[in-house]
């Protein structure tokens, strides 16, 4: 996967973080999407760590759900394509 969806639903939750923490969250979520690596909380103020972790976990879980859904759709399309090729070959008398 080359990216992730950032849903508008997250916007009100971002208000709980400082601009610095928002930047770190974006970086952490981007890295998670690319590598699967969980973030560390170094550089996050103690009073923001709970909100940061909650928001990161929420977004990471959504990334996983979206990736699973994309994989299911992709597999369904792959199978449909194979079935279509087999059906065309069968109609032409070429067998499977």
Say whether pLDDT at 15 is over 90.
Answer: yes
Q: Which has more confidence, 72 or 1?
A: 72
For residue 78, the model assigns a pLDDT of 87
pTM over 0.75: no
Q: Are 66 and 7 in contact (CB under 8 A)?
A: no
Who contacts 32 (Cβ-Cβ below 8 Å, separation ≥6)? Answer: 38, 39, 56, 60, 63
Provide the Cα torsion 58, 44, 14, 16; round to 10°: 110
Q: What is the Cα–Cα distance from 13 to 58, expressed in whole angstroms?
A: 10
pLDDT, one tens digit per residue, over 18-69 is 999 999 999 999 999 999 888 878 888 899 999 999 999 999 999 999 989 8
What pLDDT, on a 0 to 100 scale, did the predictor assign at position 94?
A: 60
Question: Does the pLDDT value for residue 74 go beyond 90?
Answer: no
Rounded alpha-carbon distances, angstroms, from residue 14 to 33, 43, 56:
19, 17, 10
């Amino acid at each position: 996967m080359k990216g992730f969806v950032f849903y508008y639903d997250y916007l009100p939750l971002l208000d709980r973080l400082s601009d610095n923490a928002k930047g770190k969250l974006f970086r952490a979520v981007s890295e998670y999407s690319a590598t699967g690596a969980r973030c560390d909380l170094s550089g996050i103020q103690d009073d923001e760590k709970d909100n940061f972790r909650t928001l990161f976990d929420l977004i990471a879980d959504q990334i996983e759900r979206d990736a699973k859904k994309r994989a299911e759709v992709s597999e369904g399309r792959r199978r449909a394509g194979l079935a279509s090729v087999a059906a065309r070959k069968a109609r032409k008398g070429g067998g499977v």
